Each structure stands twice: as C-alpha cells, then as structure tokens.
Amino acid sequence: MNYEIKGGSMPVLELMLAPGESMNCEHGGMSWMSPNMQMKTSGGGLGKMFSKALTGESMFSNTYTAGNGMPGMLAISTNFPGSIMAVEIAPGREIICQKSAYLASTPGVELSIHFQKKLGAGFFGGEGFIMQKISGQGLVFLEIDGTAINYQLGPGQQLILDTGYLAVMDATCSMDIQTVQGGVKNMMLGGEGFFNTIVTGPGNVTVQTMPKSAVAACLYGFGPASK
C-alpha cells in the first residue's frame, strides 16, 4: 500500500492499494475511489460498536478492498480544517488520541476505549474521561485539528497545554490537570480558564494548533446570541 496526503488546510488521504489489499475507514469516510474498490460494512460486535460510540466514532465502519485482480485507489477526506498524520502501531507502541481522531487504518489495527483514571483530569482537563486507544499492528491515519506539532518527552519531562490542544500521546505518557498558576486574578482575568492539562513523559506528544472547541468559541462571538 502506498499513500499520499494532498491538499492544504482541508487535506485528503489518497491510498493506492495492491490487488486484494484492504483498508478500514470510519463510516462515511470515502470521498472518491476507483470503480474496482469493493466495500463491506461491519460493526465488529456489540461491544466494539458501543466502544466506538463512546469514543465519538460511528458504530459501523467500512472496509474497502481492491477487487477484480487490479490495483485500486481510495481517497478519504478530513471532517474539519487541519492535517492528517500517519502513525505506525506495533505491540508496545500504542497511542492515546482525542475523540474522533481516527480516520483510517490497515487491517490489524484495533480501536478501543481509554478511560482517564484520575477524576480531575476527566472533569477539568478538557479531554474528557473517555479517549481513543489505538493498538495492534499496522498503520493508522489520524485527523488533527489545525497543524500537528510533535514533542518527544523524556522520563518525568512535562508539557503544559491549554484545554483541547492535546491530540495524541504515546500510551507510555500520563495526563493530569493543574490550576492556572498565579492565583485567582490570573484565573479570572487571564483568559486561560481555571485548569491546564499536564502531560508527563516518557513518550511522544502531538499537539494541535486549532482545536474544535477554540474555533467554536470564536464563532460563537459572531452568532445571534452575541448581539
């Protein structure tokens, strides 16, 4: 399988599949394809369907296979302005993602629920109690809101993020929250809210420059309620 990520702020993933090769993608993810691509829709069982619903994905997913003994082409677009990131998954190389980050993957990649163990991080960290865990073996493609910026954290090294800016982290990382530093004045007047998210290494952390929550807050200021 070969792939190319095309476009700017609204990118598309174009996949070139060998005869008989398959690709899994989210429900409704296909944008265009060659005529010989064959689609199969499945839910993967009640447990997996429930897990997908909790992580912000559709309960059903599609598998596209290059048929008729010929190579095939499949294009998958993002749902929001941003970027597409490819990550190689292997045993011991699992990742934790924000809800709805999953775009497509090769067979062998598994999508499941990741529960935040710390109540504070779940309530106030901005990422929620439930995130996506991606494991197994293969290549996964993720949707990132805005531009993806990667940081490699060493053991015990930390990164402080505003709400919604955490996109992906290695499963070896941990997440917690802390109150905004500087006291009540900073909390009330600083415009950064009351809490920040702290990610602690070791592992890779991917942040995103344009989270949906920030865009929604900006657009709200132009709505009827703001007038």
pTM as predicted? 0.82
Q: What's the count of helices (H) and strands (E) in the chain, helices before strands? A: 4, 19
Q: What is the pLDDT of residues 173-184, one digit of tens each?
A: 999 888 765 444
- Cα–Cα distance between 28 and 35 in angstroms, integer? 17
Q: Supply 107's token pair.
A: 């067979």
Instruction: Tell whether omega for the bond before 202 is within 30 degrees of 0, i.e. cis.
Output: yes
Q: If we measure between CA atoms, which residue out of 130, 133, 113 comes closest to residue 122?
A: 130
pLDDT tier at 225, thresholds 50, 70, 90:
low
Range scoring the smallest mean pLDDT among 39-48, 184-193, 207-216: 184-193
pLDDT for the residue numbered 108? 95
Q: What is the pLDDT of residues 93-147, one digit of tens each?
A: 999 999 889 999 999 999 988 776 554 444 444 445 578 999 999 999 999 999 9
**Which domains, from first to last, does the chain contain?**
2-215 (3.60.160.10)
Please give the distance of CA 85 from its chain centroid, rounded to a whole number. 9
Report residue 110 as tokens.
Answer: 């598994």
Could you read off the pLDDT of 58-93 as tens digits, one per residue?
667 899 999 999 999 999 999 889 999 999 999 999
Q: Tell me the C-alpha distance between 29 and 194, whole Å.
A: 37
* pLDDT for res 133: 94
Model pLDDT for residues 30-40, shown as the tens digit of each residue: 999 999 999 99
| pLDDT value, residue 183 | 47
Question: Averaged over 15-24, what is the pLDDT?
Answer: 98
CA dist 227 and 222 (Å) reads: 8
